[in-house]
Structure 1
Amino acid sequence: MAPTTPALERVAAAVDAALTPLVRDGGPPGLTWGVDLGGERLIRALGHRDLDATLPVAEDTIYRISSLTKPVTAVAALTLIEDGQLALDQPVADLLPELADPRALVRPDSPLTETVPARRAITVEDLLTFRLGHGMDFATMGAPNPLDDQLATLGLGMGPPAPQRHLPADEWLAALGSVPLRCQPGERWLYNTGAELLGVLLSRVTGVSLGDVLHRQVLDPLGMPDTRFSVPAPSLGRWGPCFNAADPDGTPAGQLDLFDPADGQWSSPPPFEGGDAGLVSTAKDYLTFAAMLRDGGSVGSTHVLSSERVEAMTTNQLSTDQLRAGGPSPDGSTGWGLGVGVALGDPTSSVVGSYGWDGGLGSAWRNDTARGLSAVLLTNQSWMSPTPPAVTESFWSVLAAQVPLDD
């Protein structure tokens, strides 16, 4: 897609100049990036889908977007709330009886026998805000405790997305319901499990698969044909492997490790359609989704969500104490809305983004309301630490410098 304005031409030249050396040196082998600036859109591609540099990436290359799935699932849930099929304060046990009458650990590291009754029911809002009591604790990640040991024994251990190895929804939910909550509902922000549960909830309330819910409520109205839970055969020519950097800090050092081959975890429909990290997509598709949120819930004449819901979704819902206890970002700069990360400070001349999120398999998205900007970066190399790799940091730095703040 050619630049359509002088402003976008300058952005394209600067981004390509910054990212080309990184791609040339294998970090990552290939990427597609895109920006939408006040409705003017640009998508560019660099590098290759394979390590032999024989299969170029393109503007329509399909990528594993992992945790960029979470905002899509959240928007679908909010549309059902607007339709009256769900309510934020509704107990999820109405539809997920496996979670009725939960008990919580006395302390997150308590033995599984040391529990107390939950002080209240888990609600739909808890799933969206990740305050349901289940999930990954960033503050203590890696420290052994009895709950994580039991989750691993049940096949519920935390790790990179692997759709074909995930338990089917009903089996997974029964296993989750057999263990106590890590903490009381509403008490702490804990990562990921809320989005998995939200996907199961959406399927049960509608009586169809999560994929069907997402297509009906979000993807089809917006015209996002390449966003789905597996890559269909006619699209495999736009698909490829995903790689790991050899060094733990995400900086490539020669040979890359294969994380997932082209015929791997996303090459056929999975047993569990994960509302947390299961989708694949393209830069064009995800920019359309991002622009819809930036523009208040509509794209052109297509209405998906009310502006009031978008505002609530993109406003931080976490208290100061919850952020201090372990929030979405190591440096404390990011809060959490309804299924999306929210910047706690305003965009500046060196910082892009009012809200957005990242995917650990190499994707990143930000909407910047001060700049009228939506931007997405999709790569075929996973992150190896919570700190963004150089290619992601460079992308945001260039955009901050090239796209001025609105007066």
Structure 2
Amino acid sequence: MKKLLLIAALAVFTLPARAADPLPRATPESVGLSPERVARIGTVVDTEVREGRMPGAVIAIARRGKLAFYEAYGFQDGGRTRPMAREAIFPIASMTKVLTGATLMSVLEEGRLSLWDPVSRFFPALADMRVAVDGNPNTTMPAARPIRVIDLARHTSGIVYGNRGNTPAHQLWQQTLGGYARMKGDDFIAAMAKLPLLHQPGTYWEYGLSIDVLGLLIEERTDKSLGEAMAERILRPLGMQDTGFVVPESQRGRYATPLPKDPVTGQPQDVRVGLVTPGFEGGGGQAVSTAADYIRFAQMLLNGGTLEGKRVLSRKSVEEMTRDHLSPDIANNVTVTEPQLTNFGFGVTVAVRREGGSDVLGSPGMFSWNGAYGTSMWVDPKEDLAVVFMASTPGLIRQHYRRVVNALVYGAISD
């Protein structure tokens, strides 16, 4: 497995500077948004900042390929001493997953893998996995079939996050891999191979370390670190100059930090992802980015794989990535992780809205995923809409903001 290439990760930050706006500008009314209703976003965020529930935020809204809204509010630091800049760098946690999914589809386009390949083809140690019976790691049975690449991509592998459940199996995963970000990739796979899966592969949506395995699989297929492969295939073609796995020393003044204490629980909180070199570049949650970079990525997906005349992914790859891959025989547990995403299935690293009602506004076919530190994104092809919300709010209050921002954006549509 390719060792970490830190130079590649740092190189992402050294691309030539571009204009301040990440996409061509348009007035809200020219793309079917009410200026008065869009202004509500700032009013709400300013109130949250003033009342001490968040440091600040950056929001980007694109519609019909134009940037209709791109503003910064509040403070960049939890100490509330520096005004928020639109160029602030945020730890995006699980929004890294969507970047990894796009990189995977790029590798697939070259015939280097199939979504239905057994993962043991690339990591023999993950063959012959066993499954905990009723969450008990001391009583196991053989996996009924191999874990496949699609299982990693849609979270149906049986692989878990140890801190997201209270079964004895979860506890064992946490004891073994709770500090996985400090491990080397080879050691991560070797340790995982000894653990029992929580569910039979392909039977249950369970949030976990699947996308980190997917990132290592990309390394194995490309013979490059994940950061280098991602930069070469996605980030550089899109001009995402501030996205990577390590923030250079010269740019750390742009890093957005949370309030010192969670505004709901009063517990201390701190986030240092991107400021400490990880043991391996985790495709599941270790990247940093900006609103400007991520709205360009979201717009590329909305465009079916192109941006500014440059093709990054094929249209069919984007279609496959953003369609629902959860068949009726797979238990859908998405709302345990994202309570507001009712009536959503899951594609390749993104949740996908189904027909019918939901806890959030939107259209069938919209796709989304969020970050545990307060960031969120969604794309609604029917409305020709892409939204990126960047905030450093790692507590559960982040789920409140996802609902609020969703309502404010859709409430501004006037056509």
Instruction: Specify the TM-score bucket, using the shorter chain as the normaliser.
Output: 0.7 to 0.9
Q: Does the alignment pair 1:358 with 2:370? A: yes
| CA displacement 1:257-281 (0-9 Å, x = unmatched) | 3312xxx442242212110111100
Note the C-alpha offset of 1:166.
2.9
Equivalent of 2:246, from 230, 233, 240?
Answer: 230
Note the C-alpha offset of 1:99.
0.4
Per the alignment, do residues 17 and 132 of structure 1 end up closer, same or farther by CA in structure 2, a change over 3 Å counting? Answer: same
C-alpha separation between the residues in 1 aligned to 2:411 and 2:357?
12
| CA displacement 1:48-81 (0-9 Å, x = unmatched) | 1224432111111000110101111011001100
Is the 2:247–2:274 Cα contact (8 Å) retained in structure 1? yes
Tell me which amino acid in the other structure corresponds to 1:181.
Answer: L
The normalised TM-score by structure 2 is: 0.85
| CA displacement 1:117-152 (0-9 Å, x = unmatched) | 2222221111111111212499xx54332x222222
C-alpha separation between the residues in 2 aligned to 1:52 and 1:64?
17
| CA displacement 1:134-185 (0-9 Å, x = unmatched) | 12499xx54332x22222232x13xxxx78x532211111110011222211
**Structure 1 unmatched ranges of 5 or more:** 249-254
Is the 2:91–2:373 Cα contact (8 Å) retained in structure 1? yes
Equivalent of 2:215, from 188, 199, 205?
Answer: 199
Note the C-alpha offset of 1:330.
3.6
Per the alignment, do residues 142 and 89 of structure 1 end up closer, same or farther by CA in structure 2, a change over 3 Å counting? Answer: closer
Q: Does the alignment pair 1:212 with 2:228? A: yes
Spell out structure 1 runs of 4+ moving beyond 6 A.
346-350
1:64-79 to 2 correspondences below 5 Å: 64-79=91-106
Tell me which amino acid in the other structure corresponds to 2:124.
Answer: P
Q: Does the alignment pair 1:151 with 2:178? A: no
- Partner residue of 2:141? 116
- Partner residue of 1:184? 200
Percent identity over the alignment is: 30
Per the alignment, do residues 34 and 256 of structure 1 end up closer, same or farther by CA in structure 2, a change over 3 Å counting? Answer: farther
Note the C-alpha offset of 1:350.
7.2
Per the alignment, do residues 324 and 273 of structure 1 end up closer, same or farther by CA in structure 2, a change over 3 Å counting? Answer: closer
- Partner residue of 1:14? 40
1:336-375 to 2 correspondences below 5 Å: 336-345=346-355, 351-352=361-362, 354-375=366-387
- Could you say what the CA RMSD is over the residues aligned between the two structures, in angstroms? 2.5
Per the alignment, do residues 186 and 51 of structure 1 end up closer, same or farther by CA in structure 2, a change over 3 Å counting? Answer: closer
Equivalent of 2:344, from 297, 315, 334?
Answer: 334
Q: Does the alignment pair 1:33 with 2:56? A: no
- Partner residue of 2:297? 289
Note the C-alpha offset of 1:40.
1.3
- Partner residue of 1:251? none
Equivalent of 1:103, from 105, 118, 130?
Answer: 130
Note the C-alpha offset of 1:207.
1.2
Note the C-alpha offset of 1:192.
2.7
- Partner residue of 2:8? none
C-alpha separation between the residues in 2 aligned to 1:171 and 1:349?
40
Note the C-alpha offset of 1:352.
3.2
* Equivalent residue pairs, number: 383
Tell me which amino acid in the other structure corresponds to 1:340.
Answer: V
Is the 2:343–2:356 Cα contact (8 Å) retained in structure 1? no
Tell me which amino acid in the other structure corresponds to 2:318.
Answer: V
Q: Does the alignment pair 1:132 with 2:132? A: no
Q: Does the alignment pair 1:322 with 2:347? A: no
Per the alignment, do residues 348 and 222 of structure 1 end up closer, same or farther by CA in structure 2, a change over 3 Å counting? Answer: same
Per the alignment, do residues 82 and 364 of structure 1 end up closer, same or farther by CA in structure 2, a change over 3 Å counting? Answer: same
**Structure 2 unmatched ranges of 5 or more:** 1-19
Q: 3-state DSSP class of the match of 2:100?
A: helix
